[in-house]
Amino acid sequence: MPIPRASASSTILVTGATGYVGGRLLWALRRSDVTVRCLVRDPNRLRPVPGLEPEVFQGDVLDPASLAPAMAGVDTAYYMVHSMSGEGDFADEDLRAAANFGAAAAEAGVRRIVYIGGLGTGDGLSKHLESRQVVGQVLRQSGVSVIEFRASIVIGSGSLSFEMIRALVEKLPVMITPTWVHTPAQPIAIEDVVAYLVAALDLEADASRIFEIGGADQVSYATLMNEYARQRGLRRLMIPVPVLSPWLSSLWLGLVTPIFARVGRKLVSSLRNPTVVTDPAALAAFPVRPRGVAEAIARALINEDKQIAQTKWSDALSSPGPAAGLLQWGGTRFGSRIVDSRTRHVKVGPSHAFAPCRRVGGTAGWYYADWLWRVRGFIDLLLGGVGVRRGRRDPEQVHVGETVDFWRVRRVEPDRLLQLEAEMRLPGRAWLQFEVEPAADGAIIRQTAIFDPWGLAGLLYWYGLYPLHVIIFRGMLRRMALRAEAEDTVSRSCPG
């Protein structure tokens, strides 16, 4: 008898909700009328999703006693936990965690477990890929129906594989490429992965099923890097060599992209295995038509731009440890972007704090070292750019799409946020953002400079001018804070 689909009143449990795929899944589930529940080790790491207020249970899949409360009343449980970045025997931890989870799900009467593992067939699978597939077997042994998706490279802003590709292409005009760079794969966009995960809620199946999922193209890492370089307007030379073993490759990867040093060896060892779809059953079972590589990369870059507009940069700057971002001299790396953010507390309300922000540029100037801004504008004119001669339309109010000297307004939220995108000649893209947040005894003004460098020239530009940028931006923020407090004092003394 087929297992029925989830009802509208179902409770859905999501593990791995603080991770990459799990976090994206939460955004997709906010559109549903099901009840969403999260099992997390640290609730403080669970980022809010607008329109979704999940039930949050603290627990650990390695601690069986912590699982029963979260499982109570659950219809479908998403299992997206693996220990690739762990320090010990990650395969053994994965098996124990899966056994605990499966047993707890069976005890609670869970209808279905949805799991995402890794593609790869035949003998000689890497320890990482073999572990991912054995986890699926362990979950099925619990007796609960399991829908297991097996995916290749996941392409999306923030995904491990995409960030590795980005780091290599952005940093290395010439790359020495080992043999694994040419191993066949079938990359899939993160949006399509999430679409499959959500569609599994409604799948009617007689028993557990394994579905291989991939994008529309079978390519290699070399093809992915060339496509990324094409879309970024970068020219890159790849020199293949047969001598780099997975161990040497992992050392090289850790040197060039240190954010992945902890998982480099495990990741590279799995790249020697072809990861292509051999069974197209997923296309018949689900209403998902995955996109190709070019569109997946383009969407990853577009979505990263959305993060520039929507992300609260204090979250990025407070991310702990090298796995979340590199806090280094010259700003914090956020994907390919470099973020330099600072704050200033003012003893005025948000509206007065935001007033100097909305007036920036034009006749009001830039509050500090205006002569340097004029010099930069003159240089921009010499290079064929717009300079600072455009000014701004209105000295008091600003609207999306208007110009402010050599910037263009990209986002405005009254008394809260102003985002400008640079239109000056640069070896990259740049944004300048001002945010105001209420505080207990006033407000916080946050100033954030964001730079997306184009290759080596962009990095040299940013780090070469960084000491000057620090002086200018610190001085600007300090003067804006003083201006806000002075205007507030005047308004209080002259209320009429």
Q: Around Cβ 493, how many Cβ atoms within 10 Å?
A: 7
Is the Cβ–Cβ distance between 80 and 16 less than 8 Å? yes
Q: Of 97-101, 233-237, 379-383, 472-476, which range is least confident?
A: 379-383
- What's the rounded Cα separation, in Å, for the pair 454 and 430? 11
Per-residue model confidence as pLDDT tens digits over 102-144 = 999 999 999 999 999 888 876 667 777 778 888 899 999 999 9
Per-residue model confidence as pLDDT tens digits over 172-183 = 788 877 777 888
Q: Supply the pLDDT for residue 9.
A: 61
Q: Look-up: residue for tokens 């976090």?
A: 23
Choose the CATH number for 11-297 among 2.60.120.650, 3.40.50.720, 3.10.20.30, 2.60.40.10.
3.40.50.720
Q: Look-up: residue for tokens 């040093």?
A: 261
Residue 186, phi then psi, degrees to nearest 5 = -135, 80
Q: Is the pLDDT of residue 273 over 80?
A: no
Q: Of 3-12, 76-85, 120-129, 180-189, where does the model show the most confidence?
A: 180-189
- What's the rounded Cα separation, in Å, for the pair 167 and 335? 8
| Mean pLDDT of the chain, nearest integer | 81
Query: Higher-confidence residue: 308 or 163?
Result: 163
Domains 11-297 and 327-493 equal at CATH topology level: no
Query: Higher-confidence residue: 84 or 38?
Result: 38
pLDDT bin (cut points 50, 70, 90) of residue 257 is: low
Is the Cβ–Cβ distance between 395 and 356 less than 8 Å? no
- Which residues pair with residue 227 across a beta bridge? none
What tokens were used for 292?
A: 């190709």
pLDDT bin (cut points 50, 70, 90) of residue 232 is: confident
**Which of helix, strand or coil describes residue 167?**
helix
Q: Around Cβ 12, how many Cβ atoms within 10 Å?
A: 22
What is the model's pTM? 0.68
Superfamily holding 327-493: START domain (3.30.530.20)
- Domain spans of the chain, in order of start: 11-297, 327-493
Is the Cβ–Cβ distance between 166 and 228 less than 8 Å? yes
Is the Cβ–Cβ distance between 475 and 366 less than 8 Å? no
Q: Supply the pLDDT for residue 443.
A: 93
**Which of helix, strand or coil describes residue 303?**
helix
